[in-house]
A = this chain, B = another copy of it.
Amino acid sequence: MMNIQFADRMNNVHKSFIREILKATVNPEVISFAGGLPNPASFPVEAVQEATQKVLNDDGSSVLQYSTTEGYLPLRQYIAERYLKKKGIIIDPYEILITSGSQQGLDLIGKVLLNKNDDIILEEPGYLGAIQALSIFEPKFHTVPLRDDGVDINSLKEVLNKCNPKLFYAVPNFQNPSGITYTAQNREGVANILKNTDTIFVEDDPYGELRFIGEHVPPMKTYLGDNVILLGSFSKIVAPGMRLGWICAKREIMEKLIIAKQASDLHTNYFSQRIVYQYLVDNDIDNHIKKITELYREQRNCMVSMIEKYFPKEVKSTKPEGGMFLWATLPEGFSALELFDIASKQNVAFVPGDPFYITKKGINTMRLNYTNSTEEKIEEGIKRLSAAINQLIK
């Protein structure tokens, strides 16, 4: 019998706890706020069908051939133009790399930047996919807590006083899991602290376009320029099954990212790149995004008002202005994991905060997704969850 010695790095990485939870929600009786899926009603099925016909009719076999590691240039030009139009930031298409979802961006960033035990900063709570992807490279994690307006500035200063982190990974818009968006003032504060350091700000922005209340806030790249690596994705505004995201980084870093991408999978699915590009030029994407945000606003409003109606007053929760998640906090000392067990028996599911924290235990927070349930389900689910909470805390 062969004796297999796995790589040390695999000791740090585990199966997504969320994916394990999702298995518990397959039962159709369960109302699940646990997932993180966009609402499939928002997927442009017919337009994708038309775009596919068009690229196959016009360019036939060439859309099925191998392609360049960097990605389809017109698609990268489209992304650059949209950044200029929507955010007022200038990005050279040659500083954009198309990736297999923005998750792959995290893997490539880890590959090119991280040695074992390098210091890096994450938000707490932080995005689970980033914790997973970066753990592979065995860095030393430091965390800065999130407050309602963004990063806790003093904590960030403290981390930077004691070490020289390679990067700070964050989701400044409608963060996953908390739904929090950094205010302009908070962004400026973070930028002022980082701008004379060697710490690269990795700005992950999958939800930025999904704002349904309030005004867009400038990206961190506006404040920090080339010291930012910016990640984007078509998963939330077109369709996630296509696995299309991108990284923007200055040339010096981009050269390394391209080498790492080539070693990782040669290039991103070219067929999908061509289809999504065709879809983008043939359709009014702003109008499409407007439809998505209107849909999500209704779902968010419903969950917020049901929480106000049913949840015990001791439970606090955010009122997100965009994105897909709402964040609720039980009174101090209560465990969201325990609540999960009680709630499961009442056929309602959510994600306990625990996997989003790197070191803390006994977490009293939880993530609720509202984009994948009807208003009826949201009302019934929040009722059940309230009953579970009352059972736990009273």
Contacts and interface: CB of A to CB of B under 8 A. Distances in A.
Interface of A: 2-10, 13-16, 19, 37-38, 40-41, 43, 45, 48-49, 52-53, 56-57, 60-67, 69, 99-101, 103-104, 107, 111-115, 118, 129, 132-133, 135-137, 166, 197-198, 200, 226-227, 235, 239-243, 252-253, 256, 258-260, 262-272
17 contacts: A7-B111, A9-B111, A13-B263, A19-B69, A40-B65, A43-B61, A66-B240, A67-B241, A99-B265, A100-B243, A101-B266, A103-B263, A129-B266, A241-B269, A243-B269, A269-B269, A269-B272
A371 to B, nearest CB: 12
A101 B265 contact: yes
Query: Copies of this chain, how many?
Result: 2
Contact of A10 (B16, B43, B52, B259): B259
Contacts of A48: 56, 64
Contacts of A240: 64-66
Contacts of A5: 113, 166, 198
Given A66-B241, A260-B13, A49 B40 contact: no
A112 B7 contact: yes
A253 to B, nearest CB: 7
B61 A40 contact: yes
B45 A2 contact: no
A7 B137 contact: yes
A161 to B, nearest CB: 19
Across the A-B interface, the 3 shortest Cβ-Cβ residue pairs: A64-B239, A40-B61, A241-B270
Contacts of A19: 69, 262
Given A56-B48, A241-B63, A10 B256 contact: yes
A388 to B, nearest CB: 27
Given A49-B56, A241-B270, A271-B272, A15 B259 contact: yes
Nearest to A68: B19
